[in-house]
Structure 1
Amino acid sequence: MTDDGTRESDTDMLPLDELTRSYRPIDLSHRIEERMPSYPTHSRFFRTLWESYWHGERAVAYQLLLNEHTGTHVDAPAHFMRDGHEQHRWIDEVDPTLLLGRGVVIHIADGDVDDGLYGIDVLERFEREHGAVRRGDVVLFDTGWHRKWALKPDSDAYLVGWPGPTEELALALVERGISAAGSDNIGFDKHGTEGFPAHYALLGNGILIMENLAALSELPPSFQFLGMPLNIVGGSGSPIRAVAFVER
């Protein structure tokens, strides 16, 4: 990561034609629909019919009312980094290639979690088994929480008790120079955390955070990752369509 928030990468980035020919896509995004889970302090998603040929108009169109952090989404650094901070960047100021390139997934087992936290040992274990996490990688944490995703009123299990990384682990990711991190939880820091240490460690160093990812348990250790945010002027984040491409 350079000082101006652009990518400095050691990762492999494949041509688009090779991706589509030699790799198959896995959608890592939850469907956006009414009654989907939302963070307790965030507004819910609503979809309203605006015009339709069912009512005499020429076409169908819906109006969407959604929070910037609806569903599978990415946090911009300015979500937490205030005015004057060197990483105070809104989503329209973020280099979109930060969410393009090699991805790795670290699968978290029940035994890895202590008091709701998983630590640097999961990263070190991954690197022993699969090689070093590289500069510019997108690092995802599969906690299994995506299996709890459900529409209201059945979403309570998804909205309480989710795990998150220790501050030590977040700082280790900063040292490795990754471009983005994400998990299958509604918040990257563990439920009920005080101070949001992982958010401040990562966003404070220009590393993007993705939340509410899906299907992470289907991924091999490494893959090609693509997740594009909307170009929202002054946006603190954006919904994304996150996709992993794995070898056929």
Structure 2
Amino acid sequence: MPSPIRIYDVTHTINSRLPVYPGDPGFSREVLKSLEWGDPYTLSALHLSAHAGTHLDAPSHYISSGRSVHEIPIESLIMIVDLIDAGMVVRPDALSGLNPRAEGVIFRTGSLRGCISESAARACADLKLKLIGTDALSVDSSEEDVVHRMLLSNDILILEGLYLEGVPAGIYTLLCMPLKIEGAEASPVRAILAPSE
């Protein structure tokens, strides 16, 4: 009997303890009706940033003519990615062993405060990658947002806030599905990594 395929859920659970980027609103869930209160059903309202937890940045986040979340074709959110242990600041040499099959790359920085250097972002753009992911809260190290602008202006999607604990480095098939919110510059996603043959 073949071993079951190991699929990794690399999504942070959204709750009130979830770390958020400084200045962003935290998550809250308001219970409006509850079976426990004697109501006929449970109903709640969610309050959160479009950038809460594991989320996808669309080009319209920084580019005025860029695509919004609802305009991203669903097939472009399923791709081969290389998960690379890169250190807290991602440098271009992290890409030296990039698998040639990779359409995107996920950098494990090991820290919510990790970042991608401008030179590494430029190298990703030169490689014409479709997506850059990270376990950090942001790809940028400062409020200048140079890396965001460079990647998004090259139509490279940004996947931030991944949960990569216990996931071995290597090649995977990534599926990351945002909510189809019209005009939104970002959305939380459910992201998974599956082995890639």
Taking structure 2 as the reference length, what is the TM-score of the superposition? 0.91
Among residues 10, 17, 30, which one is paired with 1:48 in the alignment? 30
1:166 aligns with 2:148: no
Query: Which amino acid in 1 is paired with 2:100?
Result: A
Deviation at 1:178, TM superposition (A): 1.3
Q: Do the aligned partners of 1:75 and 1:237 also contact (CA within 8 Å) in 2?
A: yes
Task: Give the secondary-structure state (helix, strand or coil) at the position aligned to 2:149.
Answer: helix
5+ residue gaps, structure 1, are 1-20, 146-157
Superposed counterparts of 1:29-108, under 5 Å:
29-82=11-64, 85=65, 88-108=66-86
Superposed counterparts of 1:191-206, under 5 Å:
193-206=142-155
Query: Which amino acid in 1 is paired with 2:8?
Result: I
* Separation (CA, whole Å) in 1 of partners of 2:18 and 2:143: 26
Q: Which has the higher strand share?
A: 2
Task: Give the secondary-structure state (helix, strand or coil) at the position aligned to 1:189.
Answer: coil
Q: Do the aligned partners of 2:86 and 2:108 also contact (CA within 8 Å) in 1?
A: yes
Deviation at 1:25, TM superposition (A): 1.1
Q: Do the aligned partners of 1:38 and 1:186 also contact (CA within 8 Å) in 2?
A: yes
Query: Which amino acid in 2 is paired with 1:53?
Result: L
Q: Which residue is equivalent to 1:9?
A: none
Among residues 174, 192, 197, which one is paired with 1:243 in the alignment? 192
Deviation at 1:246, TM superposition (A): 2.2
Number of aligned pairs? 195
* Separation (CA, whole Å) in 2 of partners of 1:232 and 1:219: 32
Percent identity over the alignment?
A: 30
Task: Give the secondary-structure state (helix, strand or coil) at the position aligned to 1:140.
Answer: strand
Q: Do the aligned partners of 1:103 and 1:140 also contact (CA within 8 Å) in 2?
A: yes
5+ residue gaps, structure 2, are none
Among residues 105, 128, 133, which one is paired with 1:139 in the alignment? 105
Q: Which has the higher helix share?
A: 1
Task: Give the secondary-structure state (helix, strand or coil) at the position aligned to 1:218.
Answer: coil
Q: Which residue is equivalent to 2:168?
A: 219
Taking structure 1 as the reference length, what is the TM-score of the superposition? 0.73
